[in-house]
Structure 1
């Protein structure tokens, strides 16, 4: 199957009128922020995105992203490969505002530029970064660090220092 590259920017209103449906790939080399957050990323990110008008007449686009990334295990510092999957549901808006109540909760707003286009590459990169695990860990049985190595022992109590207010206590006794 031929890998069709997804356009980096599109006009969502025009695409929704045409009911455009994109199935293809994005080169992970174009995703600088994602590449900085991981050790390695698959060469391609599989993308499916559909543009349409919903029942309210709002322009929406939705789909999903799939790829694999290699991360550093925070327990053993070894590499681990994880699949990344992200589902998204966006509605383009002109100028983001907090009191924009016309947009249903199911849709995430995404701002269009001066030409009425959205940067799909940036939106998809944001979605993949959000999909990364907060703490990357192997499963305990797969990790090079055993359960016994994860115990750290007792913490010695801090040496007791004299209370700095003890002098005041002595002064109070002397006055009585």
Structure 2
């Protein structure tokens, strides 16, 4: 694939990616991908991965599902041994290839989507409930104490 500079494009159902599906609220939709194999100016084999997918996550602010459109654009340096990682050019992530030289491209796509999942998904359009953002009830001023938390200590010192 590398020597022939092969390219692939297509779509993969999100439901077919079981590891990714475990992190999602819903597995409907498909991931559109473009994969390009080649060698850079240093002779290093690479795989360019571009993926776009609508991922349904649970917002941790509102606990409602929402669709997060994600886009991946990365270059993976194909290596056969971990020692080769240091020779990769800047901007390339290592991808360890088996001794037989075969790659499961669906697994590569799934791995890249797993890496772009947010640690804490939050829908940018969500709002906090009123009881969370409501101003605190006004402190009673009849006691003559200030809002300073150390005012009590000052009174005890007297």
Residue 145 (structure 1) aligned with residue 128 (structure 2): yes
Instruction: Judge conservation of contact 2:77–2:94 (CA < 8 Å) in 1.
Output: yes
- In the alignment, which of 107, 111, 135 is matched to residue 126 of structure 1? 111
Instruction: Give per-residue Cα distances to partners, 1:119-149, cap 9 Å, x unaligned.
Output: 222221111011112222223xx43533542
Distance 1:123 1:80 in 2: 25
Residue 96 (structure 1) aligned with residue 96 (structure 2): no
> How far apart are residue 48 of structure 1 and its match?
0.5
**TM-score of the pair, normalised by structure 2:** 0.76
**TM-score of the pair, normalised by structure 1:** 0.69
Question: Which has the greater radius of gyration?
Answer: 1
Distance 1:131 1:42 in 2: 18
Give the secondary structure class of the aligned counterpart of 1:114.
coil
Residue 32 (structure 1) aligned with residue 4 (structure 2): no
Instruction: Judge conservation of contact 1:66–1:83 (CA < 8 Å) in 2.
Output: yes
What CA RMSD, in Å, does the superposition of the two structures yield over aligned residues? 2.3
Gaps of 5+ in 1: 1-14, 155-176
User: RCO (CA 8 Å, sep 6+): is it higher in 1 or 2?
Assistant: 1
> Number of paired residues?
138
